[in-house]
Every structure is written in structure tokens, then in C-alpha cells.
Structure 1
Amino acid sequence: MNYQGTLETPVGPRVRIDGKEYDYFCGTSYYCLHGDRRIIEAACKAAEQYGLGPATSWDVPPLQEVEARAAAFFGTTHAHYFVTAYLGTFYLVTALQDEFDIIFVDTKSHYSVFDGIKGVGKPIVLFAHLDPDDLAQQLQKHLKAGQVPLVITDGVFPMTGAMAPLRDYQSILQKYDKYFLCVDDSHGVGVLGANGRGSCELHGVMGDSVYFCGTTSKAFGSFGGIIPGDTVLMGKIFRNVRVTLGASPPPVPAAAAAAMGIKILSEEPELRAMLARNVAYLRKKLQAIGLPIQNSPVPIIILYSLPSVDLAAVQRFLEEQGIMVRYIPPRGYSDAPDSDAIKITIFAQHTVEQLDRLVEVLSRAL
């Protein structure tokens, strides 16, 4: 990543970087919970009471609490909490490895998806980015009679904010006797859907063949990966994924913070409403100055392919005016476009004045 300085405050709509104050439109702390006093206090209390970790034992209340709260939040009977969401797709495909034959993956899926699917030793077929028609063609071309496909994709792509057409994918897969659809939904959980359960909830994609993993390090304001599911899935995880046996669990303070973050989003749905209003407002304002911005509930906006516009210079101008956005070089991340880009992240806590000022300064820079 093209980091632009040292952050000297908790993440929020206003931060200090290298001694200067900025309106902040970077990162993934969609509700600014990483700096919420309740989360910080939960982490500190857990560290004082239980230490940093249980030395491989899971019998520590904060670790149990985060899984219980996650299961309740996502409407499942169980949830598994683990040290990093980067391992989420590895957990899923390894847990299911005895039940499918070929993996089909979006070409611009996150690095963690590609790293995660390598370890199971199954054939891997790429399909075009966000393209259900190409997925259907690849399935028809590569899947033999009786074979079971596993399709895997990001739910929300991290640089562009594009949403995978999950309903279309499931419709295609339902033509087969058995299939699996797995979603890395790190940017969707806590944000999308009527209850904040993520991309699968938003698109109405569900069933025994649909699985997703997420993170507590973005919307929930802490650290660690999460996989909601039933008793059967948990059994497959603990039977097939040796990380659960060979690695220590997440630090106890992180677990306590994650549990508190889930509790806050469970009990304060107005946070999701605030974020949705800000997302809709900023998209409308950017459209009003002529930018090709689509309507979407995702709090990620990308500017790219603007003729005769030096986006690196635009980012520098915004920074000079006290506004921090992220410049992305061509192909600078897993789903970044071939041209350079600017990524804007929207928080629930951004004020209308901040959003208006961003649009005004941006219009002068373009």
C-alpha cells in the first residue's frame, strides 16, 4: 500500500498525521469504533483480568463471548473467531475440501482468496471479474459430470467497492446437483444488509451451500477473523483446519474489543443508518459535479479513468487543503484498475460539512 504518513490519533473523521490535522477519508473503520472509548476500555479490562492470551487454551471468557455475540449478530448457531481474516477463505475451502472438485474464482479476488485456495490441491479456474456469464461458461467448459464446483469471490471488492453479483452466481450454480458458494465479505459484514449481516443478506443469497467469512477489524473496530455457521460447519473446521490445533487464538484484548464492537453494532442500528445516509449523500453530491459515480450502499468510492486528470496531483492538492484520501497507482491492489485512482472511504461519523467540503475542494482540483 502507498502509505502517506504516520497516523498519530485513533481513526476517526478527523485525525492527525505527521503533526497535521486532516479530514480523513481513508481506511476501513466505517463506524470509527477503533477509537471508541467502550472498545478501548473493554480491551484494557480484559488485558488486566486475563493477560494477553490464554497460552493456547480457548477457555477464556472474552474468546467465548466474541463467538457467542457473532453467532447472535449473524443469526447462526455458532461462529468461529480466529487470529486474522486473511485466513478466512483458507478456513472455508479447507473445511470443505472433501466435498468439492474444482474451484472457480473471480480474477480480481483479494490476495487472501488466492493464497487460501492454493493449499487444498484442487484445480483452480479463473472467471472474468464480476461476470456471471463467464462463470457459467467456465463451469460448462471445465466441470465434468458428477463433479462439484466451489465458487469463491469477494463480496465487496476493497478498492473499487464493487459488489459481486451473488444472486446471479447462485442462480447459475443451482443448475447443478451440488455446489458451494463462498464469499470473503470483510468489507460487507457490519455494513450491508437489513441487519448488517453482509453481502449474502443484502442479495438474499442463502442456503446450506452458501458460506462466508468476515473480519472484526473493519466495521467492528477490533481485530481478527470470523466465520458464522452451524454445528456441521464448525465440525468440519475443527476436523480439517489444523490452524485451530496448531496456532494460538487471537489476543484476549482483541477478542474483548471485537465482542464490544459487535455488541455496539447490535444495539445501535442507528450507526448503520448514519452510514447509509452519508454514503447516499456523498454519492449524490459527486454525481452533481459530473463524476461518474454509481448508486451503491457501499461506503467506498473510487475515482478513475478521468481523461486528462492527474489523480496523484489531485490527491496532493486535497492533502494540502487538509483532506486525506488514498491515491492508488495502476494495479496497486488486488482489484485496483489498470489506471491510477483515488479511493474515498465514508464513515458514519463524517459530518455534512466535511462531505460538502470534500466535494467543493475536489471540484476545484479536477
Structure 2
Amino acid sequence: MSLLDKLDAVAAARKALLPEGVEVFGTPIEEVYSSTEARIGDHRILFLGTNNYLGLTFAQECRDAAQEAIHNEGTGTTGSRMANGSYSGHRALEREFAEFYQCGSCIVFTTGYQANLATISGLAGAGDIVLIDGDSHASIYDGCRLSGAEIIRFRHNDAADLEKRLRRLGERSRSTLIIAEGIYSMLGDRAPLADIVKVKDAYNSTLLLDEAHSLGVLGETGQGLVEETGLLDRVDFITGTFSKSLGGIGGYCVSNHPQLDQLRYVSRPYIFTASPTPATIASTRAALKLLREGVELRRQLWKNVHQLYSQLKELGYRLGPEPSPVIATILETPQQALALWKGLLEQGIYVNLVLPPATPEGNSLVRCSVSAVHTSEQMDHVGKTFAMLRETIFQ
């Protein structure tokens, strides 16, 4: 097989699954009207497939901050954080994140993917162990591979299985990095953080928690699962992203361990990537302030979550195990999932289609992302559309 033949195989597999002319992955969004509405082709659609949990992409404070930063500092830094790419805004955002989490220090990265890539590969290395939840995000897997550490998976959300694997490691548990997520991106379920922390402490291991989908969503001030469970001081490292509740792009890691700052000198993804633009940093700083003050936004978000989750459950759809802003409908076959995705789009609702191997246990998913700025009427329309499609597609 030549170098390019494997890509031809991918194209053939896509063609066999997807109807001609249906652009499922990377659907072009022609115009964006608000945090919840846009245009695809000739159709006005309702966004239900973004991670815009607090609806801050159109917040006036964020847009004003970004525009001012472009005017004052230009469109980009044209350099890495280790060269010319650390502006005063980057350092200010790091201080603000550290203060938000009551942690000693923070590092800001260019993307959330890079935050995991850089943090994991900087913390772990050859001779170390990384114990990861089996449903971990691709950025976690890739960070582990880059680290050169031995990778061991434990069963999803199974602290007993985690404990068993640590017990087998013996003294090597002390050089083990455990990784879990606040809310998992495919099925929307939380990690059993209290149980994981208890096991971590018993074996003197180190714990990294990815709060990408739980930042702004869980906890009174939006810190995430660490705040909801009261375990902030028991988690060693917290990573997350700006591209969901903060409505931008970028990532971070916070910790009370003084060694965090040394990652700047050993993490290749940090050293060799251009830094976030001034506009991104400025809008993120404004969004973080809104997130901290966003108690009402979180209340509205969870009201919308419970409304849609209960509607779909009553209709008989198989869903993820618990309500969260990630509401996954689990289908038996890729063809069923595609039919539901296409039917929703034809009715003006954009969601995400997720197919194996990117899904847990080989399931096919239609994945909804609920926002605080969805109206009750929009949620009701979504529920009625799912009801109509269940009668027409699955009978």
C-alpha cells in the first residue's frame, strides 16, 4: 500500500455511508446571526451543536474588548510565548485564572487541545505511568503519546478499576499521573471525582482533571466539578479551554504546585506555538468576568438542560446517563444516526453527528449542546421536532 492509499480507503468509507451531496462533517456556516441562530445554505437554522454553554460569543463586553485589543495591539503576536508572544494581557489572564481558582499559578495556551498536549507531555515522561479514563478526549490520548510515558486505561468512571490498576503498579504509583474529565464530551456524564481523589491519595499519585466541558457549567461561580464537589484543593492540576463557556479559543492549566511554571521550559507544544492573539486574550478576560458573575446564566442553562433531557427521555430516546449541557441521543446504527441528523437539519436544527471510532463503545450519536441563551420556545421546538422524527424515521 502506498502512502496515500489509506486516505483513499477513508474516502471510500465515507462515500459508502453518506449520501451524495450531504456534507455532515465540517458543514459550512454561511452566516451567524447570534449565539443560537445562523444560516446554512438557504436555511436559517437553530444552533444546537455548539459548545457555547453560556452564550458569550455575542456578549457585547467580549466583542468590545476584542475590538479594542485589535486597535491597540494588532491582529497577532507573530511569536511564541517563549519569544515575543507574552504580552501584558497574557500574563494578566494567567493571574486572573489563578485567582479564579485560588491557585498559585496558571499557564495560558493557544488552544484547549494544546493545553492537554503540553501539560501531560510536560508532567509525564519515559519511565512514568499515565492512567487515563477509557473515554478520555483525543487531546488527552495525544498528550500521553507525546509524553513517552506508559499509558494504561481504566474503565470509564470506575474508581474501583482505577484502584486495582494502581495496586498492581506498586511503588510505581508514585510516578503515575491519573487523568479524568469533569464532564465527558460524548455522553455528558460527570467523573466520580470524590472516589477518584480518594484512590489517588491512597497511592500517592498525581491527578489532572480536564474541566473543558464543566467550566462555567458546574459550581456556584462556574469553576467546574471541583467546585461542585468541594474538592478543588485535592486536585493537583486542572486544565480547560476558552472555546466553550468562554466563547473564544485557547486553553489553560492551573495548579498550586510550584513546578507548574517549569512546564514553560519543557513543553514543546507551549514553546513552539504562536501565542493567542491580543483580541482572543481580551475577549477571554471579559468572558471570565461574566462567567464568574453568571449565576443566572447557569440557572437558565440548567433549566434548558432539564427541559430538553426530560422531553427526549419521555419520547423514548436512549440518552446519556445523566442530564448535562451535552445531551447525546444514542442510536443503534450509523444509518439511524445519519437519518436523525439529516431530519433535524431539514427542520432547521443543527446538531452534531458522531460516529465510531470517535464514540464510546462503538455507539452512533446525535449530540446536542444546550446553551443558557436558548429560549424556552426554542427548546420546545426542538422537543417537538425530535418527536415528529421519531414517528417518521424509527417506525
Q: Secondary structure at the match of 2:119?
A: helix
Farther off after superposition, 214-223 or 72-81? 72-81
Residue matched to 1:174: 201
Q: Secondary structure at the match of 1:189?
A: coil
Which residue, out of 69, 75, 81, partners 2:108? Answer: 81
Deviation at residue 174 of structure 1 after TM alignment: 2.1
Question: Percent of aligned positions with the same letter in both sequences?
Answer: 26
Matches within 5 A, 1:211-250: 211-230=237-256, 232-250=258-276
CA contact (8 A) 1:328 1:336 kept: no
Deviation at residue 208 of structure 1 after TM alignment: 5.6
The CA deviation string for residues 309-330 of structure 1, in whole angstroms up to 9 with x for no partner, is 9232122222222122222223
Residue matched to 1:129: 156
Counterparts of 2:217 and 2:227, CA distance in 1: 11
Residue matched to 2:387: 363
Deviation at residue 49 of structure 1 after TM alignment: 0.2
Residue identity in the other structure for 2:337: L
Residue matched to 2:31: 8
Residue identity in the other structure for 1:35: F
Q: Secondary structure at the match of 2:103?
A: coil
Deviation at residue 215 of structure 1 after TM alignment: 0.6
Which residue, out of 68, 74, 93, partners 1:66? Answer: 93
Q: 1:94 to 1:327 in 2, by over 3 A?
A: closer
The CA deviation string for residues 219-253 of structure 1, in whole angstroms up to 9 with x for no partner, is 00111111122360433323433544444321111
CA contact (8 A) 1:100 1:147 kept: no
> What TM-score, normalized by structure 1, do the two folds share?
0.89
Residue matched to 1:268: 294
Q: Which has the higher helix share?
A: 2
Counterparts of 1:330 and 1:57, CA distance in 2: 42
Deviation at residue 337 of structure 1 after TM alignment: 4.4
Asked if 1:53 corresponds to 2:81, the answer is: no
Residue matched to 1:314: 340
Counterparts of 1:99 and 1:73, CA distance in 2: 33
Farther off after superposition, 155-164 or 230-239? 230-239
Deviation at residue 300 of structure 1 after TM alignment: 0.6
Deviation at residue 180 of structure 1 after TM alignment: 0.5
Which residue, out of 42, 56, 60, partners 1:37? Answer: 60
Q: 1:217 to 1:233 in 2, by over 3 A?
A: farther
Farther off after superposition, 307-316 or 249-258? 307-316
Aligned-pair Cα RMSD in Å: 2.6
Which residue, out of 132, 145, 156, partners 1:105? Answer: 132
Unaligned runs of 5+ in 2: 1-23, 391-395
Farther off after superposition, 109-118 or 59-68? 59-68
Counterparts of 1:147 and 1:75, CA distance in 2: 26
Asked if 1:203 corresponds to 2:205, the answer is: no
Deviation at residue 288 of structure 1 after TM alignment: 2.6
Deviation at residue 293 of structure 1 after TM alignment: 4.0
The CA deviation string for residues 181-226 of structure 1, in whole angstroms up to 9 with x for no partner, is 1122211112112221112222333336521100111100111111
Asked if 1:20 corresponds to 2:43, the answer is: yes
Deviation at residue 343 of structure 1 after TM alignment: 0.5
Residue identity in the other structure for 1:66: L
Farther off after superposition, 266-275 or 230-239? 230-239
Asked if 1:141 corresponds to 2:171, the answer is: no
Which residue, out of 260, 284, 288, partners 1:258? Answer: 284
Farther off after superposition, 257-266 or 93-102? 93-102
Deviation at residue 263 of structure 1 after TM alignment: 1.5
> What TM-score, normalized by structure 2, do the two folds share?
0.83
Matches within 5 A, 1:279-358: 279-293=305-319, 296=322, 298-305=324-331, 310-331=336-357, 333=358, 335-358=359-382
Counterparts of 1:209 and 1:353, CA distance in 2: 40
CA contact (8 A) 1:102 1:143 kept: no
Deviation at residue 33 of structure 1 after TM alignment: 1.4
Deviation at residue 277 of structure 1 after TM alignment: 1.4
Deviation at residue 278 of structure 1 after TM alignment: 1.1
Residue identity in the other structure for 1:28: N
Residue matched to 2:10: none
Q: 1:100 to 1:356 in 2, by over 3 A?
A: farther
Residue matched to 1:160: 187
Residue matched to 1:189: 215
The CA deviation string for residues 18-37 of structure 1, in whole angstroms up to 9 with x for no partner, is 23111220011112212323
CA contact (8 A) 1:10 1:34 kept: no
Unaligned runs of 5+ in 1: none
Counterparts of 2:113 and 2:100, CA distance in 1: 21
Deviation at residue 339 of structure 1 after TM alignment: 2.7
